[in-house]
Amino acid sequence: MLALIVNESMLVGKTTSESVLEFSKSDILDIKDEVSRVRELNLNPAYVNAANNHIRDMERLSLARKSILLEISDFNPSVMVIHFNNGVNQYEETLRHL
């Protein structure tokens, strides 16, 4: 991960420490927590509509509050792919649940 940050900082003329400070770890953790909540809702067929509403709410709030585009599609409860891009930082993670 550090190599990616160094590479990014070289491209935009920032020092590594500036890039690390701007990396939105708390935003990514918040999104991960909410997507995990959707996963829990999707595991119970009675809550599928609630999960879909939760996804739409997350997409609207992320754009309204932090100008972050968030899209969750083709939800699979056993595999969770998070792609984060706020215009400054990009992050992608794949989580697999048994």
What's the confidence (pLDDT) of residue 74? 59
Q: Which of 59, 38, 58, 60 is nearest to 49 (CA)?
A: 38
Counting Cα atoms < 13 Å in the Cβ hemisphere of 76 gives 11
Tokens of 92: 């992608």
- In percent, how much of the chain has pLDDT > 70? 60
* pLDDT tens sequence across 28-72: 787 778 777 877 777 788 887 887 787 777 777 776 766 666 666
Task: Find where tokens 């792919």 sit.
Answer: 81
Domain boundaries, the chain: 24-96
Contact 76, 97 (CB under 8 A): no
What's the confidence (pLDDT) of residue 77? 66
